[in-house]
Amino acid sequence: MPNKTFFWFFLPTGLAMILFIGLPIISTGIQSFYAQHDQVVKEVKKCDPFGCTVSIVVDNEETTKIRDAKPLGKFNGFGTYTDRNHLAVDEIKKFWNETESFGAFVDQVTNLPFYKALIFTLTYCLFVTPNVLLLGFIIALSLNAVARKIRGPLIFGTILPMIVTPLVGSLVLFWMIDSQGIIGANIQNLMNDPYLSLKSSKTLTWITIIIYGIWHHSPFAFVVFYAALQTVPQEPIEAAIIDGASRLQRIKHIVLPHIYPVVTFVALISLMDNFRVFEPIIGFSAEGSAQSLSWLIYDNLVNEEVILFGSAAATSMMTIIGIAILLAPVLIRTWKEFKTAR
């Protein structure tokens, strides 16, 4: 496509992207450098049905004046980024100087909310993404080998986990692993421990969420791989069979290299999706044991009666940077291949 045609073709999408993705990100970025103005409070008498007390309220007149003068808030620079609830620079320095062993240092750091969430998010990505690729590929291969007659219903059944809304899917599993649910109760019987609960143990909650993630995301990988498998040319495979190549060798030397670009694509998308893991945490009510970066943003915005815009904005920016870092190796590789292909 000539560059000019491409430009006009891409213009509407580009504009929409700038308007609905680019500008909000810039605005979030700006917001993350600001904190609320110092609160002006005053002592007043408060009366309710249970009696009167003297306590403080926010002085709205004064606050409005300050807010009108500087609507964005108080400039805070990287203050929000470096505070304890985010990168916790000071705390980490302190822990480094105070702790005796490296283990104790790690313990202290992973107790900070941001790092706690980061570790869960990365663990989730690390376990879910490769397993999704592997499982998706195996399902695609097996379905490709099944007789054509039953393939349709089988494909439909396989993509069901993707059709089910994430929240509903996780709720179904949530009830099954309840200590009185079918899975939870059976595990208790099996282990002979009436106090065992999948939901109260941190490790078991993580495992549950990861298994759920694999179950939910595999169909996507499967669909893409299955489509790619249809394009694998038959001649080289037949030639390989004549040469005496085993099934495994055929997959390794012909099928995989052929669908390699698609594997990269699925890996990219799934990494991005998994880094933003959120619904299962809500669905499983797992806030106590597992927090992800997206959950931190949600928590800052809605879980408290006071909304923390600065905190949420800072975490959002760091999530974007995190995704960029994760994707960088794959993107660089794709770019290099693109260059050499030319």
Partner 1 sequence: MRKILVTLLFLLFGTSAYADCNIKSGSINILANDFPALRTFVETSKQCKGSADFKVTHSSEHNKIAVPALTANPSEFSARIAANSSIVPLMNQDLIRPLDDLVKKYGKGIQDSQLITIDGKVMAVAFMANTQHLYYREDVLKDMGIAVPKTYEEVVAASEKIRASGKMKYPYAAAYKAGWNLAEEFVNMFIGHGGEFFKAGSAQPNINNAKGVATLNMLKKLSELSNPDYLTHDSEAIKVEWESGNVALMTLWASRSGTLLDDEGDAKITAATKLTGPATVGGGNIPAATLWWDGFTLAKNRSDADAEATFRALAHAASNKKMVADAADQAVWLVEGFVPGPKSIGVIEAVKMGAKPYPMLPQMGLMHGALGSEIVEFLQGKESAEQALKDVEAAYISKAKEQGFL
State the minimum distance, in angstroms, from the CB of residue 144 to partner 1. 41
When the beta carbons of 77 and 261 are compared against partner 1, the nearer one is 77
State the minimum distance, in angstroms, from the CB of residue 105 to partner 1. 15
The rounded distance, in Å, linking the Cα atoms of 80 and 34 is: 8
Q: Which residues contact 198 (CB under 8 A, 6 or more apart)?
A: 177, 179, 183, 184, 187, 204, 205, 208
The rounded distance, in Å, linking the Cα atoms of 159 and 136 is: 10
Residue numbers at the binding site for partner 1 (CB under 8 A): 35-39, 41-42, 44-51, 55-58, 60, 63-64, 74, 76, 80, 83-85, 91, 111, 113, 174, 178-179, 194-197, 199-202, 284-289, 291, 299, 302-308, 310-311
Beta bridge partners of 12: none
Structure tokens at 22: 């680019």
When the beta carbons of 132 and 318 are compared against partner 1, the nearer one is 318
Beta bridge partners of 34: 75
When the beta carbons of 181 and 236 are compared against partner 1, the nearer one is 181
C-alpha dihedral (52, 58, 59, 63), degrees to nearest 10 = -170
When the beta carbons of 80 and 218 are compared against partner 1, the nearer one is 80
State the minimum distance, in angstroms, from the CB of residue 278 to partner 1. 15
State the minimum distance, in angstroms, from the CB of residue 314 to partner 1. 9
When the beta carbons of 139 and 314 are compared against partner 1, the nearer one is 314
The rounded distance, in Å, linking the Cα atoms of 306 and 309 is: 9
State the minimum distance, in angstroms, from the CB of residue 99 to partner 1. 13
